[in-house]
C-alpha cells in the first residue's frame, strides 16, 4: 500500500513573488506607486539644492515605508490593518460608563411583562446593567 501525504497548509495564502502574498504585493506596489508619483511631482524642490532633495526623498519615501510596514509587519499574529480597524473602532466608542440598576428602569403596564419581571427578580437578587452614555 502506498502512503500519501495529506496537505495541512491549505489555509495559508500562496506566495507569489519574493515570498510575498498577493495582498502584501498589492499593498507594496500601491505604496511604491504613490511614493514614485510624489517623487515625480516634487521635481521643483531640486531648485533648493540638498535641502530640496532631502525634502523630496522624505516626502516620497514616507508612503512607500508606510505601505511596507502595513504589508509586512504583524503584531500578536495580526496584520497592521486589523490593528488600524481596532483602533478606529475604539476611538468611535463612547468612553463614559454609568452603572444603573435594572429596577430603576420604567415598568411595563402589561400583565405578561409584570409576570416576567417577577420571574427575573426571583432568579437573582439584583441585576446590574452597564450602560454606555
pLDDT tens digits, 36-85: 999 999 999 999 999 999 999 999 999 999 999 999 999 998 999 899 99
User: DSSP character for 46?
Assistant: G
4 within some domain:
no
Judgement on whether residues 23 and 86 belong to the same structural domain of the protein: yes
pLDDT at 127: 41
Write the burial class of residue 34 (CB in 10 Å: 0-12 exposed, 13-18 middle, 19+ buried).
Answer: middle
Task: Give pTM, 2 decimals.
Answer: 0.60
6 within some domain:
no
Looking at beta carbons, which pairs linking 101-106 to residues 24 or more positions away fall under 8 Å?
101/126, 101/127, 101/128, 101/129, 102/127, 102/128, 102/129, 103/127
Judgement on whether residues 39 and 82 belong to the same structural domain of the protein: yes
Judgement on whether residues 42 and 105 belong to the same structural domain of the protein: no
Reported confidence tier of residue 114, pLDDT bands at 50, 70, 90: low
Total length of the chain: 133
Is residue 129 scored above 50 in pLDDT? no
pLDDT at 123: 52
Task: Please count the structural domains in the chain.
Answer: 2
CA angle 14, 17, 18 (to 5 degrees): 110
112 within some domain:
yes
Amino acid at each position: 500500500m502506498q502512503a500519501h501525504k495529506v496537505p495541512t497548509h491549505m489555509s495559508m495564502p500562496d506566495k507569489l513573488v519574493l515570498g510575498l502574498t498577493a495582498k502584501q504585493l498589492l499593498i507594496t506596489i500601491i505604496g511604491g506607486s504613490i511614493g514614485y508619483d510624489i517623487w515625480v511631482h516634487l521635481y521643483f524642490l531640486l531648485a533648493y539644492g540638498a535641502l530640496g532633495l532631502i525634502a523630496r526623498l522624505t516626502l516620497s519615501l514616507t508612503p512607500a515605508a508606510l505601505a511596507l510596514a502595513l504589508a509586512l509587519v504583524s503584531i500578536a499574529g495580526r496584520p497592521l490593518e486589523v490593528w488600524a480597524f481596532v483602533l478606529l473602532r475604539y476611538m468611535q466608542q463612547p468612553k463614559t460608563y454609568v452603572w444603573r440598576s435594572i429596577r430603576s428602569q420604567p415598568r411595563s403596564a402589561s400583565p405578561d411583562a409584570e409576570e416576567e419581571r417577577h420571574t427575573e427578580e426571583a432568579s437573582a437578587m439584583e441585576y446590574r446593567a452597564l450602560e454606555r452614555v
